[in-house]
Amino acid sequence: MNKLTHIIKLGWAYKISRTDHPTYPPFQYTIEPTNVCNLSCAFCPQSDPEHHLRRGHGKLTEENFELFLRRIKEADPGNNKINLTLDGEPFLNKNMVRLVELAAAEKFTSVFASNGTLLNRPLIDRLSASGPFHISIDFTAEENAFESMRGQKGHYALVLENLRYLIEKARQNENVNLSINDIASFDGAEPEASLKELKSLFESPPPGRVRFTSRQFHNFCGHLKTTESNRHYRLCPYPWTQLAVTYNGDCVACCRDTAARTVLGNVFEKTVMEIWTGEAYRRMRRNLLDRKPELNAACADCDLPYSGGEIRWRIKYMLNSLLGR
């Protein structure tokens, strides 16, 4: 389906008809290469000692990834972007470069987030040759703040070097696209000044291929104890836009549901459309339409429906987020 038609159908279903039964396929697909991580960042559920008790550890296999790509093509032959992100650090799956290569062979651009600590020059060289990708890495200019948020010391210089090398590759190779996300606001820093400081660490990054953003934080379905004073309810768009899948094929509520609190079907066993239009998905949407997020395990403690006038509700932000991922 062409992107414009897709966005119109999605907008109509979510905003105008408010149906629990969309007839179009998901706009975005995301699958995790692994749910294991080598860090325990304060803002991430990986820092919760009980996080892995909920669903254990695992890795996506090449075969299952190929099956997922086929499922996407069946549902929406026009789709050409695959997100390789949910929980975990993707490069802890030793096949990560191969996954990007398999996606490229099917004409997909891979989009993923990494903490950047497992990269090195040879790996970045292999990745750059494997196919088009957009990598997103969190960083901040202030070393002590970075290391305390990351939960481990000793990675600042390494990540900085990897970012500089990725920028160098982006200058030469159009496969390489990079977002550097400033996380300083989590530590209380003023976002604009901090972003400026972050940019100053890098010399003339190629415009268009390298972006700098200030990361918007959310509470990961209750991982962070936010106290929302705003009781104005807004309908979450994710169940109308995105199919999020764990390494073992379980479709979960959205990209925030890293603990797989709400499972809506298994995409290695059923087609995308069987799950997307199935009763479990429809019930989740109905609960949100009825303003009862508490009836969905994942949504019960999520801060999104009550996140007031935040930037993420602006149309421009939503469209950028839809098209950028």
Q: Secondary structure of the chain: what % helix, strand, coil (to 5)?
A: 40, 15, 45
Q: Which residues within the stretch 21-80 sit at the binding site for ligand SF4 (CB under 6 A)?
A: none
Contact between residue 179 and residue 137 where contact means Cβ atoms under 8 Å apart: yes
Backbone φ and ψ of 114, nearest 5°: -140, 155
Q: Does 221 bind ligand SF4 (CB under 6 A)?
A: yes
Query: What 3-state DSSP class applies to 179?
Result: strand
Among residues 72, 163, 302, 322, the one that binds ligand SF4 under rule CB under 6 A: 302
- The two structure tokens encoding residue 56: 């254990």
Choose the binding region for ligand SF4 from 16-24, 41-49, 150-158, 233-241 (rule: CB under 6 A). 233-241
SS3 (DSSP) at 219: coil
Output 164 or 234, the one with its CB closest to ligand SF4: 234
Query: Does residue 299 touch ligand SF4 according to CB under 6 A?
Result: yes
- Maximum separation of any 2 CA atoms in the chain, in Å: 52
| Least distance CB 177 / ligand SF4 (angstroms) | 25
Nearest approach, Cβ of residue 221 and ligand SF4 (Å): 5
CB of 318 to ligand SF4, least distance (A): 13
Helix (H, G, I), strand (E, B) or coil at 76: coil
Interface mask (CB under 6 A) for ligand SF4, residues 235-254, using x and -? -x-xx-------------xx
Q: How far is the CB of 178 from ligand SF4 (least distance, A)?
A: 26
Alpha-carbon distances, residue 106 vs 51, 90, 102, 157 (angstroms): 34, 20, 7, 36
CB 271 within 8 A of CB 15: no
3-state secondary structure of 133: strand
Determine the size of the site formed for ligand SF4 (CB under 6 A): 15
Nearer to ligand SF4, 124 or 299 (CB): 299
Name the phi and psi angles at 321, rounded to 5: -70, -40
Interaction between residue 275 and ligand SF4 (CB under 6 A): no
Taking the complex as a whole, the smallest distance from the CB of residue 288 to ligand SF4 amounts, in Å, to 6
33 or 293: CB nearest ligand SF4: 293
Give whichever of 169 and 256 is closer to ligand SF4, judged by the CB atom.
256
According to the binding rule CB under 6 A, does residue 322 interact with ligand SF4?
A: no
Contact at 8 Å (CB) between 113 and 120? Answer: no
Shortest distance, CB of residue 319 to ligand SF4, whole angstroms?
17
Contact by Cβ (8 Å): 191, 226: no
Instruction: Closer to ligand SF4 by CB, 198 or 251: give it.
Output: 251
Query: How far apart are the C-alpha atoms of 50 and 70, rounded to whole Å?
Result: 34
- Which residue of 134, 256, 285, 325 would you call a contact of ligand SF4, by CB under 6 A? 256
* Vertex 15 angle, CA 11 and 18, to 5°: 110
- Of 99 and 243, nearer to ligand SF4 (C-beta) is 243
We find the least distance from the C-beta atom of residue 237 to ligand SF4, in angstroms, to be 8
Of 33, 257, 260, 275, which one interacts with ligand SF4 (CB under 6 A)? 257
- Phi, psi of 182, deg, nearest 5: -80, 125
By the 10 Å C-beta count (0-12 exposed, 13-18 middle, 19+ buried), 19 is classed as middle
Cβ proximity to ligand SF4: between 79 and 241 the closer is: 241
Task: Write out the residues near ligand SF4 by the rule CB under 6 A.
Answer: 221, 236, 238-239, 253-254, 256-257, 293, 296, 298-299, 302, 304-305
